A and B are shown apart, each in its own frame.
With several copies, the nearest count.
Chain A
Amino acid sequence: MKSVFYLLDTAPYGSEKAFGALNAAAVSLNRMHVTLGLYGDGVYLVAAGQDSRKLGVPNLSDILYSYGELRVLVHEPSLFERGLFGETLIETVELVDEEDFLEAMESSDCVLVF
């Protein structure tokens, strides 16, 4: 495998899956071409200004920022549906339509779902 697509469709903070997907994507960066695809509830991850100190859990947007070389694709229809379009988003992500999102999944050697 030369490329891997991590698909995250679960909301951040409510479950460990977003944290798990981010960590898994990060450790793969030096070996493979890595894409993190945010779909469904996974798109909530890109809201800018997350501050998780009072929850006592890692700040997931900080993790996203600290791996600037990670390619992050956001499924735009999911973003729209969830009312995130007017919100300030993390700048390092790429908003793509469904066609481009599915194509990125298809062009990766494997897809790992979280």
Chain B
Amino acid sequence: MKTLTIVLTDGPYISEYAEIACKLAENALERYQVNIFLYLDAVHIPKKGQIPSFFTSAGELFTGLAKKGAVIRACARCAAARGYIAEEETVNGSNCKDYFPGIKITSLYELSEMLSKSDRVISLPR
């Protein structure tokens, strides 16, 4: 199976890249392996408790993608700086109690692993 990796650097709502990534991933998941690496501000995307009055919850969208098989990882350095701390234990596919299920904090080395194993890569920076 071919693999697509999507790299995001923006947080939710401020730009539409979380939503565009989601549409790309939804379509790709029907036939391909999809990886999403959350870098820089994108580590805010999986935060629990989002109640956007006028938008779709980015956290809900991404946990939905994880449920459908997308591998979603957040950069540990970026996450820790922004207050999302990786714990030893993984519960519901996540090692961060502030994150939605299925989304894990990992080292940046995981990005290079994802890239090296991918057939296509998409980056969506602001």
A residues apposed to B, CB below 8 Å: 1-2, 4, 13-17, 19-20, 23-24, 27-28, 30-32, 55-58, 110-114
Q: Are B115 and A28 in touch, CB under 8 angstroms? A: yes
Total A-B contacts with CB atoms under 8 angstroms apart: 76
B residues apposed to A, CB below 8 Å: 7, 9, 13-16, 19, 39-40, 54-56, 77-78, 107-109, 111-113, 115-121, 123, 125-126
Chain A: minimal CB distance from B117 (Å): 8
Chain B: minimal CB distance from A13 (Å): 7
Closest chain B residue to A25 by CB distance?
Answer: B112
Chain B: minimal CB distance from A63 (Å): 10
Q: Are A1 and B16 in touch, CB under 8 angstroms? A: no
Chain B: minimal CB distance from A5 (Å): 10
Closest chain A residue to B113 by CB distance?
Answer: A31
Q: Are A114 and B9 in touch, CB under 8 angstroms? A: yes
Residues in B whose Cβ lies below 8 Å from that of A32: 112, 115-116
Q: Are B112 and A28 in touch, CB under 8 angstroms? A: yes
Residues in B whose Cβ lies below 8 Å from that of A16: 13-15, 40
Residues in A whose Cβ lies below 8 Å from that of B107: 27
Q: Assess A1 versus B121: contact at CB under 8 Å? Given A16-B14, A57-B55.
A: yes
Closest chain A residue to B56 by CB distance?
Answer: A56
